[in-house]
Amino acid sequence: MDKSELQITRGNGKDILLQGFHWNLVKTKKTGTMDNREISWYKVLTDKAKEISELGFTILYLPPPWIDESHWEGNGKHGGGEGYFWHDFDLNSNYGTKTELIELVDALHKVNVKVIIDIVLNHRDKNKMKSDLWAYPGPHWRAGGKENGGAFLDGSCDLRIEHEEVYSRFKIALNELLDDCKIDGWRWDFVWGYHPKDVMSLIKDTAKEEYFSVGEYWQSASISDDPMFLRYGGSEKSRIIGWANDSGCAVFDMILKKELNTGNPANFKYGINCSSNIEERKMSVTLVDNHDTGASPYSVANGWGQKVWECPAEFKSHAYAFILSMPGTPCIYWPDFFDWGLTEIADLVKARKKAGIVSGSEWIDLTDKYSGFAAIVKNELNEEALAISIYSNFTPDLSIWKLEVSKEGWSVWLKK
């Protein structure tokens, strides 16, 4: 990939993301946690704009914005309507109207919070769709022939992004979000099934310069025509880093996510965010859970949500202490703070900002000297600024370090 073509969209290194939704908010049959209420989810977020800013979050990440009337049922559960099987570029979604989206972004911008939005480029499900913008099967779909991005799942309902009409229509839709709604960037959903050059081109071809974009490359199994396998081989870490390099975007650190799920803090240093390469640290967006991996507040439609790769509940506090103390750009999952009361997240955000930790911060590994995980993290001036211990016998020199935040099993200190 010609690096001169890339527009790097990784923020300023000081960002802290808040994922502003979960899986059970809305459903096609109106049985989500927000359905049948007098106000929309966009309005709820608008009313919380000041609080979101005061908590220290700098970017709010929103769900897919387009109309979705998909539906599925099975095993006593049902769903659809969450935005991931959208069928038209109509911005009046189950989360609120286009006007409400504009008002939400304006409210957040007034309190210095930027907004990115979840973009689903690649997949549909013909068995769940009520209709679609493009007739299926047909030339707009992978079913009509191979595409350059490889298959999403079985590939049966992949859009062909390289098709001139599909690409052009996406470009118009992204420009509408940038120009009319003042969106600041993108969260690219499940970035296999389309090529990083599609992302690179869409960012380059939109009129406004995006501030922050992050991709979700989450694919450990070998897919014969996945361009990341063809280019970077069998190492999942190499493919994730390669996707970020080829697109110019940040990327979710699924290598760290895997280690967080084990609850073994000694292995946390193997995440991309702890790389010796500063550019790799800067590209890493760290997470504990999201709407797919973790639980969502209970709904009659779908119980506790997706829960496909959940961080153990008893270890979540430790995991947040790690991602908010270490390099990378942390992303906080809405329910963990707003629904389930992990209030230490707010204290950890304040500690990170007070210490001046940034996405590319250098850090000193103490794991060979102590049990569990222990480290000293430097600020953007390359000064030792924060010390962290997770299930470790490490304690810094208290004559120069002050305990800032602590819970059972972990502690964070700042330099006096």
Question: How many CB atoms are closer than 10 A to CB 37?
Answer: 11
Question: 349 with 407: CB under 8 angstroms?
Answer: no
d(CA 370, CA 354): 26
DSSP secondary structure letter of residue 249? B
Q: Which residue, 159, 161, 84, is CA-closest to 119? A: 84
Tokens 């650190």 correspond to 253
Question: 95 with 83: CB under 8 angstroms?
Answer: yes
DSSP letters, 345-367, are HHHHHHHHHHHT--TT--EEE-T
Q: Which residue, 188, 174, 178, is CA-closest to 246? A: 188
Question: 169 with 185: CB under 8 angstroms?
Answer: no
Question: 22 with 305: CB under 8 angstroms?
Answer: yes
| 288 phi and psi angles, rounded to 5 deg | -95, -45
User: Which whole-number Å values give the CA distances from 283 to 56, 162, 262, in the listed order?
Assistant: 21, 26, 23
Tokens 């220290």 correspond to 56
Question: How many CB atoms are closer than 10 A to CB 78?
Answer: 17
Q: Which residue, 20, 155, 25, 126, is CA-closest to 81? A: 25
**CA angle, corner 107, sides to 102 and 110, nearest 5?**
125
Active site residues: 189, 216
DSSP letters, 296-309, are -S-BTTTBT---SS
